[in-house]
Amino acid sequence: MNTTTNYTSVKEFSSCGSAFVVDQESFNVSDYKLPVPADIREHVHSKIVLDWVVERNLTCKEAKSNQSGYACGANSFCSYFGNGQGYRCFCEAGYMGNPYVYPTSPGCRDIDECEDPRQYPCHGNCKNKPGNYTCDCPFGMSGDGKVGCQTSRLAIIAAAIVAATSCIIVSGLVLFICKRRAKERYFRQNGGEILKHQRLKIFTEAQLTKATNNYDAGNKLGEGGFASVYKGRIDGDILVAVKKPKDVLVKKPKDMKKDVSLSTHDEFLHEIGIISQVNHKNLVKLLGICLETKVPLLVYEFIPNGTLYHHIHDKRSTILRLWQNCLRIALEVALALEYLHSLADPPVIHSDVKSLNILLDEKYSAKVSDFGASVLISPGKIHIAEKIQGTIGYLDPECLTTGELTTKSDVYSFGVVLVELLTGEMPTQRARSGEKINIIQSFISAVENRTLLHMTNFETSNEGEVREIDAVGLLARRCLNYNGVNRPTMREVAEQLARINKTLWADQGNDEETQG
């Protein structure tokens, strides 16, 4: 090693250079005190500085051209001191260590700025990079993370949208769970555990909503006091009639503080209990039920040709202009009521027999419907009605007076239907003057005076048909007797209509043979 002196002093003194070998890991040059010669110690008032260069008289460019002798290692740069003094090596920014090439030296190593936040500040997410580091502001904030982060306006809006969306999703999920639990509760309350083991099909609320196009008004078939009936399509091609309940608000009694909602829940469960126990070709068949709603939904077979009421009172209908069709329909209704009174177990009183509750299928055969007001009875027992149900004009006047509901009450209502079939008139109506007309009384008078034919409007009635019309008129008169005990039973009514029907067909056969 060569040493030289390069200093200026007011006093000459001898100088020497020294070199020594130390352990690089344990030696700290800052703790080392350089020796100062005794003859100049008193003149030196500052620290001695060791200054040195590599390869005097070589610039950085010249040193780099000589690759084998270039002293600067990786991640370092060369600094030339000028005036032929030579160059030295320094670690690049972001690196620390020994910048010189040496066999055992690790060289300039990358500084992990993320481990020293005091010297390398970061107010966000720190990430080390070779020779540098990045600092990104947290989500929802903006700015230079090394200096500071501020809440982003756009982030506030985004956060609000995310929060609102999350609230909607959570609310929807809670609503879905609540609805599902409500459906399960209604299923149990409506006796689902028992009914699902019977022959009835259990429908979901979603199935019936889809089948009726969300109960579109165009699919409404009819409407009563407690329910509306909608046409629906199940499994693509099966037509059904869905009976959907509605809430009815009744005025408060004087002893109650507010109006009350009349629930149809009991009525519908009652109807299910009755219709699920009966089976007759002239009774509308219950196909299934939905128990997921507060009040069950009833799914009946679809009867395509409307109500008997429509065909009686719509003058465009021609099906009832033929006497034989009227007689056949009357017999079919009588057979259905006879089944309810005599063959059902236990017997059933329909309680609301009227032309509006008699439907006609694709072959114009009669189907008795609507069992919401029906009553199960024990044979020979009298039912005391807590409330009178039925339709004005068809109601048994004796029941209105005594409150006693019997099978003879259905007989009276059937007698009114016979009057409608024979006369084409509604049981109660008003004249143009506004005066109320009692068709029943007019009918009874016509039967007793043998002038009934003047009240009918059938096409081409021969003598045989005239006799049949008179016979049915007399039967209707017996059904309309004020005293129930004097009315015939539905079995007697059905048997007599069957005899009349056979006579009619026999007369028609004889006429055809005569014409032949």
Place of tokens 């982030």: 155
* Exposure b/e, 482-506, CB count within 10 A at least 16 = b: eebeebbbbbbbbbbbeebbeebee
β-partners of residue 295 are none
β-partners of residue 220 are 230
Q: How many CB atoms lie within 10 A of CB 298?
A: 27
DSSP E strands: which ranges in 81-186?
87-91, 95-97, 108-110, 125-129, 132-136, 141-142, 150-151
Minimal CA–CA distance to 476: which of 422, 431, 428, 424? 422
Q: Are 145 and 135 in contact (CB under 8 A)?
A: yes
12/30 Cα distance (integer angstroms)? 28
Find out whether the peptide bond into 130 is cis, omega within 30 degrees of 0.
no
The stretches of 215-313 forming alpha helices (DSSP H) are 265-275, 308-313
Place of tokens 């409407």: 223
489/349 Cα distance (integer angstroms)? 12
Q: Which of 136, 314, 352, 507 is catalytic?
A: 352
Distances (CA, A) of 501 to 149, 341, 356, 371, 471: 98, 22, 24, 28, 11
Amino acid identity of 330?
A
**Chain centre distance of CA 285:** 28
Q: How many CB atoms lie within 10 A of CB 173?
A: 10
Q: Are 475 and 487 in contact (CB under 8 A)?
A: no
User: For this structure, is 136 an active site residue?
Assistant: no
In degrees and rounded to multiples of 5, residue 413 shows phi and psi of -60, -35
Q: What is the set of active-site residues?
A: 352
